[in-house]
Amino acid sequence: MRFSILISPIVVVALAFGFAPGIAQAQIEAEAPAQDDPLRGSVTDDSSDNIITISVPGLPTPQSAQTPAGSTDELGARVSDVIVADLRSSGLFRPLGRNAVRAISYDEVTTPALSYWRGRNNEALIQGFVRAMPDGRITVGCYLYDVVLGTELARQGYVVEPADWRRAAHKCADSVYSRLTGESPFFDSRIAYIAETGPKDRRTKRLAIMDSDGANHRFITNGQATALTPRFSPDYQSIVYLSFLNGSPSIYIYDVDSGRQRRVFSTSNPTFAPRWSPDGHFILFSMAVSGNTDIYRISAGGGEPERLTNAPGIDVGGSYSPDGSKIVFESDRSGAQQIYVMNANGSNQKRISFGGGRYATPEWSPRGDLIAFTRVSGDFRIGTMTPSGGNIRLLTNSWQDEAPTWAPNGRLIQFFRTARGSGKTSIWQVDLTGKNARQLRTPVDGSDPSWGPVLP
């Protein structure tokens, strides 16, 4: 079976300041919010003073037109919903969607009623439009206004196939997020994970992919062989993961376009814990030889692996620093799992975790400033430390939270939570304060999330 995800760079067009809204005025009917918010179970502390209140009315259209993804009126409403869900999930905004604010006319998009919005305790306003183009694509306009100062802060237009309307919404949310926080964007990105079903002793574990908000979900493997620990390549063209396809654990590269896969390294020894280098040229993996596990590096194209660690015991789970010069990994050479850093060639191995308990599954932030980990001390908790092991912060407090993965901007962490007893799993997201934790909606149970970079 062939699975394919098309990732084409989104065309960003500059919208002229003298942009004329045209003639037709499309009034968007207020309707009940769509079941589009993929993040639920919010424990956000909405009372924080740092949270920005921002209104996101439905996006009007200059002229209602049908597209394969629905009419431009419908798309305008759904784009607004996705922007609202994105901003809310970041924990930094209190977005007011089209169920909470009045509809706007197409004319208003570039001439916002600022005094009206100012009177409603808004700090910012997102307006935009959806317009059908003669070539079958749509343009999604996205404008950000500072309501208090009465100024326009950003404007972008995104030309996409109608089916890619969600990506245009994510790009708009990314633009707003970046402009208002000064951080890099992250909404327009994808996640590979393991979809789980079945009883605890015979779990079916399938490789699956989805957008960062849980949309556009797709199963990749059929579950006949247990799949674990997937990682998207930096260009999203491949997924490296572990499969029991030939009876014992072995790592494979799945090619997203062709649907074909190959073993990374043919050996009778088990290989597991695969990770990409930041440039996508290399794969780190662990291999057990007669009970002794070490970390190896191999070209993504194949060839002979290079052994990077040789301590007796279990060395496992490397993660590159963003510049590729260092690798953080875990080892039990001291007697229990702890976190170590080494140079990319394996030299200068140094332990950096010294707190109580065991430290596992280190993942270097794409920003380079922090390392996320699982602390095992009876319970499993997700936390962060600096690359030198300092400033340890625990972000979650549940029975078993495991395997952090970073948002592409290094400001959020996803992980999976296992329920005591039942073994049921779910994917969660937490910010770096630990105050804002939410469950990601998945069709079935989910584990081993892996967040890819921002799409082009």
Partner 1 sequence: MTASKSPKNILLKSAILTASVLALAACGQKPPPELPPAPTTNTGPSTATTQTRPVETGPVPGSQADFLATVSSDRVFFDTDRFNIDTQDQQTLQSQARWLSQYPSKRIIVEGHADERGTRDYNLALGERRANSAKNYLVALGIAPSRIQVVSYGKERPDALGSNEQAWAQNRRAVTVTVE
Give residues in contact with partner 1 (CB under 8 A): 199-203, 205, 226, 228-229, 242, 247-249, 270, 272-273, 286, 288, 290-293, 314, 316-317, 330, 332, 336-337, 360-361, 374, 376, 378, 380, 399-400, 402-403, 418, 420-421, 423, 448
Q: How far lies 238's CA from each of 54, 377, 429, 447, in Å?
A: 37, 35, 24, 19
Let me know if 323 is exposed, middle or buried by CB neighbors in 10 A (0-12, 13-18, 19+).
exposed
191 or 287: CB nearest partner 1 = 287
Q: What 3-state DSSP class applies to 165?
A: helix
Q: Residue 366 Cβ, how far from partner 1 at the closest point, in Å?
A: 21
Q: Which is nearer to partner 1, 75 or 342 (CB)?
A: 342
- Contact assessment for residue 230 and residue 270, using Cβ atoms and an 8 Å cutoff: no
Spatial contact of 243 and 252, defined as CB atoms under 8 Å apart: yes
Smallest gap from residue 222 Cβ to partner 1 (A): 17
The burial class, CB within 10 Å (0-12 / 13-18 / 19+), for 286 is: buried
Shortest distance, position 351 Cβ to partner 1, whole Å: 16
Residue 60 or 404 having the CB closest to partner 1: 404
Pairing of strands 124-132, 93-96: unpaired
- At residue 395, φ and ψ (nearest 5 deg) are -100, -20
| 68: CB partners within 8 A, 6+ apart | 162, 163
Q: Give the shortest CB-91-to-partner 1 separation in angstroms.
A: 26
141 token code pair: 């306009």
Least distance to partner 1 from the beta carbon of 270, Å? Answer: 6
Closer by beta carbon to partner 1, 48 or else 266: 266
Which of 90/277 has CB closer to partner 1? 277
Smallest distance from the beta carbon of 309 to partner 1, in angstroms?
12
Minimum CB–partner distance for residue 421 and partner 1 (Å): 5
Q: How far is the CB of 285 from partner 1 (least distance, A)?
A: 10
Closest to partner 1 by CB, 270 vs 302, is: 270
Q: Are 225 and 244 in contact (CB under 8 A)?
A: yes
Neighbours of 258 (CB within 10 A): 11
Cβ proximity to partner 1: between 140 and 208 the closer is 208
Q: Which is nearer to partner 1, 185 or 317 (CB)?
A: 317
Rank residues 182 and 421 by Cβ distance to partner 1 and give the closer one: 421
The number of beta carbons lying within 10 Å of the beta carbon of residue 60 is 29
Burial of 278 (0-12, 13-18, 19+ CB in 10 A): middle
How far is the CA of 320 from the CAs of 7, 137, 239, 283, 366, in angstroms?
25, 39, 17, 10, 9
Phi, psi of 407 (to 5 degrees): -60, 150
User: Residue 255 CB, nearest distance to partner 1 (Å)?
Assistant: 24
